[in-house]
Structure 1
Amino acid sequence: MGGLLVPMVSGSVALLMLGVQPIVLGEMLGAGRVSLEGVGVVAMAEIVTLGLGVLLGDLLAWLHRLRWLTLGAVIAIVALNLLTPSMQGDAALALVRAAAGLAEGLLLWVTTAFIVRSERPARMAGVFFVLQTGAQALVGLVLARWLIPSYGWPAAFWVLAVAAVLPLLLLDGLPAALAPQVAAGVDPRAEPGRWRWTPAAVLSLLAVFLLMATLGALWAYAEPLGQRAGLDALAAQTVIAAALLAQIAGGTAGTALVGRLPPAPVLALAALLLGGVALAVYATAAQPAWFSPLCMVFAFVWLFMVPFHTALAFAVDRSGRVASLMPAAQLLGSAAGPLVASLVVEGDDASRAALVSFGCGAAVLVVLLSMRALRALAGRTA
């Protein structure tokens, strides 16, 4: 665990914006810096390039340039966060945040490279998400309660820029290189060059993609949905920050249970719960008493299921290759949800985003059932 501290801090910095997106984008929407449709586009742009950054790191495998990669990514993140408040309009903001996402993705790849090489990658993935969500909850609460009310939404990007410097202070603790072969938790006979795609590998990535789309569609529009339910802007922001604490509880529980429960059934149950919450959010307009507990359930399930993503990846592929691609699937799914939601919301009404979330949750069940059917078919033909 000690050797993972530095990459976990780096990954937490990389994902910090994702946790506070609803607060920051909601404030930018209120200030007229972004349109309601643009909320989804800007959120999507950063998350997509974050996923592409992870893919780029995996493809190029900069295992002997970890310190240089971290240094370059941090400098880019700081500069782009400082540049963001000067941008005006959906297109300009999306472009700058897309560039920031690419740098954040490269920084996250460093974390992923360490996790898939750990002795218990599924558990370490859970620990990482608990740590980074704790950082998001703290920053989100400070922004919602103090900094944004006092200094406006640009303060969020000032804080993100300052936080991004933290990995540089710990750079000496980062190993200069990693071995290309996954050291633990995988089949040592599985050589990277011999790895091939299988239907199970594709479906596992697709299931996680859709699960994160279920989350992303609702989360990107959490603040306008909260106001639709009857909360004022400050109350909606506070609920979002509190939901991050519920994520920590869920992530802690998921990390403790990941080695004891089968991943596919757990993820199916998660899809049912997330889809049910989304449908309930859609059905409970102007009922603020319902919105907060629904957000807490949504947030708890969110992080509870994350360690099971990695467990599912290793269940279908012991080489670790699918596990190394899982963060990209998670991030691209998180981007696809807001993108689709942005295409269906109308005017000031964000309610259809909840329906998109429900639809993605239903699609997860179809994919997981397809995986089960393939396993059954393989068992009969073996």
Structure 2
Amino acid sequence: MTVSPAAPKQATSAWLPIVVLGVGAGCISGLQPLLLDLLLKAGKLDVAAMGLAATAEAAGMALAVTIAALCLPLQNLRKWALLALCAMALANAGTMFGSGSAIIGLRFLNGLGAGVLLWVLVGMLSRSAEPARLFAIYVTAQSVLGLCLSQAISGLIAPAFGHVGAYGLLLGLNALMLLAVPAMADGFDTAAQGSRGLPGLRAIIVLLAMTAFLAGIMGLWVYLLPLLANAGFAPATAASAVSVGLAAQIAGGLLAALLGARIGARTAWIVGIVLAIGAIMLMSGSGSAAVMLAGAGLFGFVWIFVPPFHMPAVLAVDPSGRGAMLVGTAQLSGTVVGPLVAAPVVAANGVSALWQLSGAWLCLSLLLLAAAQFQKNTVERIPS
């Protein structure tokens, strides 16, 4: 089965199974604070290894989606999806009983499988007439699933079964995802592949801005529970912040779906950065629990509101589609770099330094967006 890019709107039967697989693959990022904290409490990881495990998982995703985008045609997708799900199932089963470096390796394997599924999703989005709307649907569904799983893990599974039950739940999710494989498109028209290779300079700058944005988000998010504990909040209150953040993601995704065709991608991105910096100030300002939870909610809202505008932003500066196929790479690279840089910062300066580090990443994203605009103006001033 192939999907033609010529139609103004893709049939639901074409994109829904791919979105379902992408949701199941991508929801792990939002659950990392809870899952890694369970491994920490069980003595399977120390604080430094938490960052390494998060980095390994994101690195696996980034590596898989990049290699696939550069080297593989979007064909035989059911075979690739099946192999990806097998890898994820093996990784989650192994994490239930592993420890230390073994867990870090297993999370890398899970990332590889998830990255393959996200490559398929990005390929479908890059060929869609409405990429912002479909991406918003994807992140909203991912947020709903993440919220449901976080509530089940923190309220029911973790108290009774600990990390074994939590990763067992993910194993069950992998099994359910198998149901979407037979229904998905097995390939896209080769005519829609577009030219290969690196995009132009402006597209590269925009892609780097995506990386910086997600680095600022994930570098803080994976350490949210230790950060809030260090700020003096009770464990139950800190855990509530994760749930509030995940719930706010739903609102962010819904608003992005509503505004996807009504607001400029660059404008939405800039507003999101400003709001994210404000959220960091609310969470780190030694205020009341209510203020902290408001900050966590705003942070989760921005996390999901901004990424749907990444694809339209890069397509606006690179209509060839070369940059669009690297959106997954740029976003996932941010989820790698954020925790990777955060780990030594925590070791050297303590966990509280991550508030400033996250803000610095977000400011860098804003500067890169300004640089991309400056490059446009410079090119336009050059006489032909």
TM class by shorter chain equals over 0.9
- Which residue does the alignment assign to 1:110? 120
Code of the residue aligned with 1:337 in structure 2: it is G
- Which residue does the alignment assign to 1:374? 375
Q: Distance in 2 between matches of 1:368 and 1:292?
A: 29
Code of the residue aligned with 2:161 in structure 1: it is Y
SS at match of 1:87: coil
- Which residue does the alignment assign to 2:208? 206
Code of the residue aligned with 2:308 in structure 1: it is P
Alignment TM-score, normalising by the size of structure 2: 0.92
Deviation of 1:265 after TM superposition, in Å, equals 2.6
CA contact (8 A) 1:217 1:354 kept: no
- Which residue does the alignment assign to 1:82? 93
Question: Which runs of no fewer than 5 residues in structure 2 stay unpaired?
Answer: 1-11
CA contact (8 A) 1:11 1:108 kept: yes
- Which residue does the alignment assign to 1:267? 269
Q: Distance in 2 between matches of 1:40 and 1:348?
A: 15
Does 2:127 correspond to 1:127? Answer: no
- Which residue does the alignment assign to 2:9? none
- Which residue does the alignment assign to 2:333? 332
Deviation of 1:130 after TM superposition, in Å, equals 0.9
Deviation of 1:226 after TM superposition, in Å, equals 2.2
- Which residue does the alignment assign to 1:361? 362
Deviation of 1:235 after TM superposition, in Å, equals 3.0
- Which residue does the alignment assign to 1:159? 169
CA contact (8 A) 2:36 2:50 kept: yes
CA contact (8 A) 1:276 1:358 kept: no
> What is the RMSD computed on CA atoms of the aligned residues?
1.9
Q: Distance in 2 between matches of 1:278 and 1:346?
A: 21
CA contact (8 A) 1:56 1:106 kept: no
Code of the residue aligned with 1:342 in structure 2: it is A
- Which residue does the alignment assign to 1:173? 183
Work out the number of aligned pairs and report it: 372
Deviation of 1:32 after TM superposition, in Å, equals 2.2
Q: Distance in 1 between matches of 2:73 and 2:195?
A: 15
- Which residue does the alignment assign to 2:55? 44
Code of the residue aligned with 1:220 in structure 2: it is V
Q: Distance in 2 between matches of 1:330 and 1:215?
A: 11
- Which residue does the alignment assign to 1:186? none
Q: What pairs with 1:185-264 in structure 2 (closer than 5 Å)?
A: 191-193=194-196, 196-264=198-266
Code of the residue aligned with 2:332 in structure 1: it is L
Q: Distance in 2 between matches of 1:206 and 1:124?
A: 23
Question: Which runs of no fewer than 5 residues in structure 1 stay unpaired?
Answer: 184-190
Q: Report Cα offsets for 1:150-188 as digits up to 9, x if no partner.
A: 1112211101111012232122211222113339xxxxx
Q: Report Cα offsets for 1:248-299 as digits up to 9, x if no partner.
A: 10111012112222222321222222223224433327x4332211000111
Code of the residue aligned with 1:354 in structure 2: it is W
Percent of pairs with identical residues: 28
CA contact (8 A) 2:249 2:303 kept: yes
Deviation of 1:197 after TM superposition, in Å, equals 2.6
Code of the residue aligned with 2:127 in structure 1: it is R
SS at match of 1:86: coil
